[in-house]
Amino acid sequence: MATQRDVVIIGGGHNGLVTAFYLAKAGYKPLVLERSAQIGGAAVTDEFHPGFRCSTLSHTAGPIRPGIVRDMQLEKHGLKLITPEVCVTALSPDGRALSLYQDVGKSAQEIAAFSQKDAAKYPEFAKSLAKIASVIGEALATTPPDIDHPSSGDLWSMLKTGRAIRKLGKRDMFRLLRWGPMAVADLASEYFETELLRAVIAARGVFGTFLGPWSAGSALVLLIRAAADPHPAGSACFAAGGMGAVTQAMASAAKAAGTEIRTGAEVIEIRVQNGVATGVLLSTGEEIQARAVISNADPKRTLLKLTDPTHLSPDFVQKLQHYRGNGTVAKVNLALSGLPKFTALKDGDASALKGRIHIGNEIDYLERAFDESKYGNFSRQPYLEATIPSLTDPTLAPEGKHVMSIYMQYAPYKLKGDWEEQRMVLGQTVVQTLAQYAPNLPELILTHQIITPRDLEDKYGLTGGQIFHGDLALDQFFTMRPLLDWARYKTPIEKLYLCGSGTHPGAGLTGGSGANAARQILKELKR
C-alpha cells in the first residue's frame, strides 16, 4: 500500500532544500528524497584521501542570497562563511600575477602595475556593473511573467523592473540594453587594454557554459553572475568545512521547520494519472503518493526520464529535447604534501592564493580552449579555476598539507573518445598546465580525484554533465528557462513542479531557483 504524503521533493541539493524550508514554514510537510547517501547534490564535502577533505564539485558559494541566509538562519545551524580579502589571482606565463581584491581601490592599485589607464577605468566599470547588476538582481528574484496572460502581479513586477531600469540613468540604461547580447570579450576590451585583466573578467561570462569569450550573449552570463555578486571578476566565498557545510546547514534549517529528509532514496518514476502527478516510485519498490511532486533534478531528467514522455505533447517533448545542456567542465581535486610555489608570487606569500586562482592569460587563450571542445576534444591548454581551501580552513587537511580544487574547462560531455580511457590524460593535462606556473606541484601530489562530465551525469545525476542544469544563454534565460511558456516552475503535468537550476534564474549556488519556486508553488497549492 502506498504511503500518503503532503509534498514530495526529488533531490536534496541546495535548491531542493531551500524550497522544502519555505514550504515547511508555510505549514506543509515536505518529504525530501535524496538518492545519494548524503544530502547536498553538487554541494558536498568528501574525504577523498585519508585526512584530506574537499568540496567535491562546487568549491565556492554563489554567493547565497542574503534573504535566504537570513530566513533559514544558516549561521545558527552551523554555517560559517569565509570571504578572503583576495577575490582572484590571475597568473601569466611571463611570471606576472594580478590580484583583484574585495576592495575596488586596492584592486586598482594592483592593476596600475600593468596599466595606469586600466587602473583609472576599473572603478568606473565596477560602479556601472554594480548598478546594472542590482536591476538584474531584482528581475532574478521574481517569477517570470506569463507572456500570453499576464496577471496583475506580473504586470506590477514588470512595471517595477521598468522603473528600476529608468532610474539607472540614460548612460547605464543603454549599457544594460547593449551589454546583454554582446560577446564578453568585446565588453572587457572596451574598458581595458591589459590582456590578463580582460581574460579574468571575460572568464566569468563563460564559466560552466558551452560559450567562448567571443560568443554572442556571453556578456549576459557575466551580468547574471554580477546580480548575485557585483565584483567585476567575482569574489571568493567559501564555507568552513567545505561546500557540504552549506547544504548541511540548509538541511538542518529545513528539518527544524518541519521537513523530513531521506537519503539513499532513489526515485525512478514520477507517477502520473490523467495528466496529474500523484506521487513517486522508489528503486526499492516503495510507492509514495503526494499532493504535489517537486523536482530538484534538471528538466530533461525530470520530464524525459523520471516521467513517461507519453504524458507530454510531442511538441513539448521535441522542444525539451533541444534544450541545450551538454557540460563543458571537469573537476580535479588534489591532496598535496605541501603548498605549491608559484613563480609569479613571492616566496612564502600565500595571501594571494586564498581566493580563486585563474589560469587563462588572454582572451584568445580562452577562445582556443573553447575551439577544441567544439570538435569533441578536451582542451590541451585549458582554462582553469583553482582554489586551495585549506589555506583559509586548515581543518580540511593534515597540518602542513593542503587540498587543491580545480575546475577544468573545456571538457565536452560528447567526447570523441571514451571518457574512461581519457580520465588520466585529463588529470595529467590539468597538472601539467598548473606546473607551468607552479613547477613543484607534481612532486607534491599524494593522490588526485578526477571527475569527468560523464561522472557528473552518472554519479551526480546532472544530465549531459551540465552543472547548471542547462546552458545559461540568451535563449534559455528568464521567460525561456527551461522553455518559453514554461518558466513559472510548473510543467505540462498538473501538480508536478521544478525547483532546480534548470529554472529561472539558475545561476549556481545562490538558492535563487529554490526560493522563487517555493513562492510560486505555494500560490498554486493554496488555490
Range with the lowest mean pLDDT among 150-159, 189-198, 431-440?
Answer: 150-159
Query: Average of pLDDT values for 50-57?
Result: 96
The tens digit of pLDDT for each residue in 64-93 reads 999 999 999 999 999 999 999 999 999 999
The tens digit of pLDDT for each residue in 406-461 reads 999 999 999 999 999 999 999 999 999 999 999 999 999 999 999 999 999 999 99
The pLDDT value recorded for residue 65 is 94
The answer to whether the beta carbons of residues 115 and 205 sit under 8 Å apart is: no
On the question of pLDDT at 527 being above 90, the answer is no
Q: 162 or 183: which carries more pLDDT confidence?
A: 183
In the sheet that 383-387 helps form, which strands lie side by side, from edge to edge? 97-101, 86-91, 356-359, 383-387, 402-409, 329-336, 445-451
- C-alpha–C-alpha distance, residues 385 and 364, integer Å: 17
The pLDDT value recorded for residue 503 is 97
The answer to whether the beta carbons of residues 449 and 332 sit under 8 Å apart is: yes
The pLDDT value recorded for residue 121 is 97
- C-alpha–C-alpha distance, residues 86 and 357, integer Å: 10
Query: Which residues, other chains included, contact 378 with Cβ-Cβ below 8 Å and sequence gap of 6+?
Result: 330, 372, 408, 410, 411, 412, 415, 422, 426, 429
Query: Average of pLDDT values for 39-57?
Result: 96
The pLDDT value recorded for residue 348 is 63
The tens digit of pLDDT for each residue in 289-345 reads 999 999 999 999 999 999 999 999 999 999 999 999 989 999 999 999 999 999 999
Cis geometry, peptide bond prior to residue 505 (ω within 30 degrees of 0): yes
Question: For residue 60, what is the DSSP state?
Answer: S
Question: For residue 385, what is the DSSP state?
Answer: E
With cell 606576472, the residue in question is: 96
Query: Average of pLDDT values for 500-520?
Result: 94
On the question of pLDDT at 471 being above 70, the answer is yes
The tens digit of pLDDT for each residue in 1-44 reads 578 899 999 999 999 999 999 999 999 999 999 999 999 999 99
The pLDDT value recorded for residue 235 is 86
Query: Average of pLDDT values for 242-253?
Result: 97
Query: Residue 293 pairs with which residues in a beta bridge?
Result: 8, 496
Range with the lowest mean pLDDT among 134-143, 397-406, 456-465, 516-525?
Answer: 134-143
Query: Average of pLDDT values for 488-503?
Result: 97
- C-alpha–C-alpha distance, residues 44 and 30, integer Å: 22
> Could you tell me the domains of the chain?
3-46+65-80+242-323+466-526 (3.50.50.60), 85-228 (no CATH), 326-458 (3.30.519)
Would you call 427 exposed, middle or buried from its count of C-beta atoms within 10 A (0-12, 13-18, 19+)? Answer: buried
Query: Average of pLDDT values for 40-66?
Result: 94
On the question of pLDDT at 156 being above 80, the answer is no
Q: 162 or 254: which carries more pLDDT confidence?
A: 254
- C-alpha–C-alpha distance, residues 83 and 63, integer Å: 10
The pLDDT value recorded for residue 519 is 96
Q: Is pTM beyond 0.85 here? A: yes
Q: How confident is the model at residue 154 (pLDDT cuts 50, 70, 90)?
A: confident
Instruction: Look over the chain and give the mean of its residue pLDDT values, rounded to a whole number.
Output: 94
Distances (CA, A) of 209 to 111, 366, 504: 28, 12, 16
- C-alpha–C-alpha distance, residues 393 and 84, integer Å: 11
- Give the residue among 460, 466, 461 at the shortest CA–CA distance from 481: 466
The pLDDT value recorded for residue 93 is 93
On the question of pLDDT at 122 being above 80, the answer is yes
The pLDDT value recorded for residue 1 is 52
Query: Which residues, other chains included, contact 217 with Cβ-Cβ below 8 Å and sequence gap of 6+?
Result: 180, 181, 182, 183, 211, 473, 474
